[in-house]
Amino acid sequence: MTTDGAMLGLAASARAWAKVNLTLHVTGQRSDGYHLLDSLVVRAGVGDVLSVTPSDQLGLSVDGVFAEAAPLDGRNLVVRAARLLDDGVGRGAQIQLTKQLPAAAGIGGGSADAAATLHLLGAHWGLPVPADVSELGADVPVCLQDHPQRMRGVGEVLTPAGPLPPCWLVLVNPNKSAATPDVFNQLETKLNPPMPDVLPVFDNVPAFAAWLGTQRNDLESAAMPIVPEIADCLGALQDALLARMSGSGATCFGLYESEYLANRAAARIGKAQPGWWVAAGPVLS
């Protein structure tokens, strides 16, 4: 998340960057049903845009490619984040959300929007981000971070990861959504090994990709029966150093060593599959 011009009471804007799970190990399940994870999470330089202007009342308007998937009421995490921050006082602001990330896509679009809202309105209203944002969802804490994170527990245990070598991602979604509960229900084994206790330090992108190849996304095989096109997305990323599904899907990512290679792959895939959502962006660190 980055904020531009965030001054108390003035108009400001922020980017809500896509969250990408480079690894996602499902390591257990709590008695309340929540799954335990061990995941290396980065932000890609592709995202939604939020802006805020002064207003007597709290309001939300949405535009963008995926605007139809974004409700304007309390079902939207932007509204819920604003209400959490306001804490019943009744502060006003007009929020504009330009929705450029697909919904239910495994890249934390709604969670990134909520995190950006907390930062943006916090600056607008002169308030700190609440210490506990768990009611907004398990991915919101990691989306509040600007740097790569190792995410454990149900998403609340965060440890800075890196430094990572400069690299690029191509994100590909077949314009299909995968509901997270449905994907977890397909998971056969919920007690899997975590990542190593200490993550390596990587000198270059090929070494980083090679190590990532020894890790997993345990939800990938579980999501494929729900969205078979995931296999096609992975196949389209065959020239990447690594191709894998992010989160619970259906978005897949390809890891590339340079902006040129990533943009070339994105253009190739977009031309071959005009009905897919394809975007390229750097790993933000």
Active-site residue, selected from the candidate residues 38, 48, 139, 218: 139
Residue type, 174: P
Contact 261, 168 (CB under 8 A): yes
Q: Please give the Cα distance from 10 to 79 (Å, whole number).
A: 19
Question: How many of the other CB atoms lie within 10 Å of CB of 102?
Answer: 24
Contact 174, 235 (CB under 8 A): no
19 counts as catalytic: yes
Q: Of the candidates 248, 133, 137, 119, which has an alpha carbon nearest to the alpha carbon of residue 183? A: 248
Contact 265, 254 (CB under 8 A): yes
- Helix segments in the chain, DSSP class H: 77-86, 109-125, 140-143, 180-186, 205-212, 220-223, 229-236, 259-272
What 8-state DSSP symbol labels residue 78?
H
56 counts as catalytic: no
Measured distance between the N- and C-terminal CA atoms of the chain, rounded to whole angstroms: 11
Residue type, 78: V
Q: Which two tokens stand for residue 189?
A: 């084994």
Q: Of the candidates 193, 166, 148, 151, which has an alpha carbon nearest to the alpha carbon of residue 28? A: 193
Active-site residue, selected from the candidate residues 19, 38, 113, 176: 19
Side-chain-facing half-sphere of 180: CA atoms under 13 Å:
14
Catalytic residue numbers, as ranges: 19, 139
